Amino acid sequence: METAFKSIAIIGRYMSPASLAQAHLHTQAQAHAQIIELVAHLSAKKIKLCIEENTALYTGLSEHRALLRYEAFSIDEIGQHVDLAIVLGGDGTMLSAARAIVPNNIPLVGINRGRFGFLTDISADNMLPAVDEILAGKCSIERRMLLSAQVIRNGELVFEGCAFNDIIIKSGLRLIELEVYIDNQFVHKQRSDGLIMSTPTGTTAYALSAGGPILHPKLEAIAIVPICPHTLSNRPIAISSASKIEVSLVQAESIHLSLDGQIESTLQQGDKVVIIRAEQTVPLLHMQGYSYYEMLRNKLNWG
């Protein structure tokens, strides 16, 4: 079969031996077996295979190196060698993979091995036929926006990063006081447990639990959602993705900046966090017939 992709990366949700001791062994063994099954399936085709090095190490792939044709690369390097990435895991695996390879503009396909799978929409049970359809070009591409965050302290840049889902300012101890500006215009001063700035993709994550709206991924918008505001009139707001958000920490103790719940930076009183839309986008591939509304209906158990 002639494929639309000549080189493919496999990035899986793996667990180290130390972590496996705390996990459900049968579930993890099944996940590892599916990764090996996918690699064997693709290895039989005329496709260059690149495996994320920890995926190869901890899933047992390295034990089959003599039979399976592949090269191993770190998560930061792998996007330089392929034209498609297949991610097996949950949304967390997809988030970390997307951030790592976003500079390479590589499309991603998600195979769900997690709980919800808002981003990994292919069922693990339908993995091989679905991958074959995508390799044959029977798929659609959707570009998702990212957010970029900078932390300014005493006029100097001390941290920057990007997020696929959300950027969160939060304290685990007590209420914090924030001043919010949008496009250099003062919006309000807020006392709350924190603040979520979410892409449309991230509005089905923490922002949804905090009472925020669901934004369709094609909307050019950012959702700003307060976490447990002290004043009940503080409500979520959706703004243009072209806007610049500035959050000043007026009063804060033990406060953190979180990117996708996976990268953290410690903040201090007086810091300013600047959030804008990132220049890069994440290309996601979906099977033909994919419906965002059907996905919501199934994941959220709508009637």
Residue 191 lies in a domain: yes
Q: Who has greater pLDDT, 232 or 191?
A: 191
Active site residues: 91
Residue 74 lies in a domain: yes
Quick one: what percent of the chain has pLDDT higher than 70? 93
DSSP secondary structure letters along 228-242: S-SSTT---EEEETT
Phi, psi of 272 (to 5 degrees): -120, 130
Contact 19, 27 (CB under 8 A): no
pLDDT band at 2 (very low <50, low <70, confident <90, very high): low
Question: What pLDDT, on the 0 to 100 scale, is given for residue 14?
Answer: 61
124 and 223 co-located in one domain: no
**Does some domain include residue 2?**
no
Residue 50: the pLDDT is 95
Q: Are residues 154 and 274 in the same domain?
A: yes
| Structural domain ending residue among the three candidates 137, 170, 192 | 137
Q: Quick one: pLDDT at residue 16? A: 46
Do residues 107 and 36 share a domain? yes
Task: Name the band, by pLDDT with cuts 50, 70 and 90, for residue 18.
Answer: very low
In a domain, 125, yes or no: yes
Q: Are 125 and 178 in the same domain? A: no
In a domain, 223, yes or no: yes
Residue 303: exposed, middle, or buried by beta-carbon count in 10 A (0-12, 13-18, 19+)? exposed
More confident residue, 186 or 24: 186
Query: Do 124 and 171 lie in a common domain?
Result: no
Beta bridge partners of 153: 156
What is the tally of structural domains in the chain? Answer: 2
**Per-residue model confidence (pLDDT) at position 110:** 95
pLDDT at 27 over 70: no
Which range (66-75, 128-137, 232-241) has the least confidence?
Answer: 66-75
Q: Which two tokens stand for residue 21?
A: 């001791």
Q: Are strands 185-192 and 176-182 parallel, antiparallel or unpaired?
A: antiparallel
Same domain for 174 and 269: yes
Q: Any idea what the CATH number is for the domain that residue 152 is in?
A: 2.60.200.30
Range of the domain at 248: 146-280
**Average pLDDT for residues 104-115, to the nearest whole number?**
90
The pLDDT-based confidence of 59 (bands split at 50, 70, 90) is confident
CATH of the domain at 65: 3.40.50.10330
Assess whether 65 and 158 both reside in one domain.
Answer: no
Same domain, 119 and 169: no
Rounded distance between C-alpha atoms, residue 19 and residue 29, angstroms: 13
In a domain, 302, yes or no: no
In a shared domain, residues 94 and 195: no
Model confidence at 45: pLDDT above 90: no
| pLDDT (tens digit per residue) in 207-223 | 999 999 999 999 999 99
| Paired sense of beta strands 194-198 and 221-227, if any | antiparallel
Lookup: tokens for 274: 């600047």
**129 and 46 in a common domain:** yes
